Chains A and B, each alone.
Chain A
């Protein structure tokens, strides 16, 4: 840059310089973002799949492999490719390729914000066999016990979600009970100090089970094809 040019720049705004700077830097930034996106895309996708897989194998104890199913035109079928938007049913299989259960996502309003959870169903025995919190903003130390409290997790060893005789709804509503007063297999034993969060989980469970259990039970044979 020679002397007259520099003087011109500092003296009067030159719109060409401004456009040049903004466009040039904008282009450079766009390139930078796109290349980072391309570079990290596969790693991020793999990371996300891993997180989901870890949760699925946790709510389906004993599962070692999984297959994804969707409902299309009222029919359960295996998901081929990436798919988009449909409710996904994750079937988990153990080492002998026997169906352990079917996992699916559910959500509902908690104390602070929406709680997202992953539920593991055993369609054959009509029980819930696992629950993992995927995302929650419940109060640390109280509400977040729904994630860690071992006594609360015990609820999900075999929570009864048996269907009524015509197979269209739950026989017993999943109800919340105060800590230590659970007496039936379809009741949820709450956490002391986290009443609202545990009630929220009961409500999510009830909504998800009454909606999905009939589908799961009717199609329980279909999930067995790996």
Chain B
């Protein structure tokens, strides 16, 4: 089995930091680590389930109607996820609001269905979807952690600083999402460039 199929979603092809896909939930629901985690896991669930089904049915689906079928499958699992989240916690469902339904239009999911699951075996597709899902959750958690720690002084609702901490309200507002994403992208690109420069040094 190819572990690279799984690992690439985490780092090299990270859906948020490298592919810059799925920006809507990335910016909108990462105002706390809990919300980011819930959104990431819900997306990962839909991603894995739909990739599995698409891969299973890949010989059954004619090329001409594949997008319609993929969307149908994705929408089904989004609806399932919405019911499950409501059953787990009404509060999380309220916090994520309309963004659960919007998982349908998250390009990461349709992208993986079209680019990977429809061409690869079930096992490989599950690995790929899991990698992407975990990578997406990790990225959302990166944003959610920074925004919650600075914006509310807490991490997973656990007080990080003393009571005198002055929260940076901006960070939990939409603007803070853009700033945080920008900062993370800066860090990722900086590391990538430095690595590339090192590789060049070695080869030269």
Contacts and interface: CB of A to CB of B under 8 A. Distances in A.
A17 B63 CA distance: 10
B72 A29 contact: yes
A78 to B, nearest CB: 26
Contacts of A47: 86-87, 89-90
Interface string A19-37: 0111011100100110011
A141 B169 contact: yes
A36 B81 CA distance: 9
Given A25-B72, A33-B76, A13 B62 contact: yes
B63 to A, nearest CB: 8
A22 B69 contact: yes
23 contacts: A13-B62, A18-B62, A21-B65, A24-B60, A25-B57, A25-B72, A25-B73, A26-B72, A32-B77, A33-B76, A33-B79, A33-B80, A36-B83, A39-B83, A40-B83, A40-B87, A44-B83, A47-B87, A51-B90, A139-B169, A139-B173, A141-B167, A142-B169
Contacts of B62: 9, 13-14, 17-18, 21
A140 B172 contact: yes
Given A29-B73, A33-B76, A22 B83 contact: no
A40 B84 contact: yes
Which residue, of B68, B69, B87, B172, has the highest number of chain A Cβ atoms within 10 A? Answer: B87
A22 B90 contact: no
Interface in B77-109: 77, 79-80, 83-84, 86-87, 89-91, 94
Contacts of A32: 76-77, 80
B60 A141 contact: no
B21 interface: no
A32 B87 CA distance: 16
Interface of B: 31, 57, 59-65, 68-69, 72-73, 75-77, 79-80, 83-84, 86-87, 89-91, 94, 151, 167, 169, 172-173
A221 interface: no
A97 interface: no
Nearest to A22: B65
Nearest to A41: B83
Contacts of B90: 44, 47-48, 50-51
Contacts of B83: 36-37, 39-40, 44
Interface string A48-71: 101100000000000000000000
Nearest to B57: A25
A80 interface: no
Given A18-B62, A33-B80, A135-B94, A140 B173 contact: yes
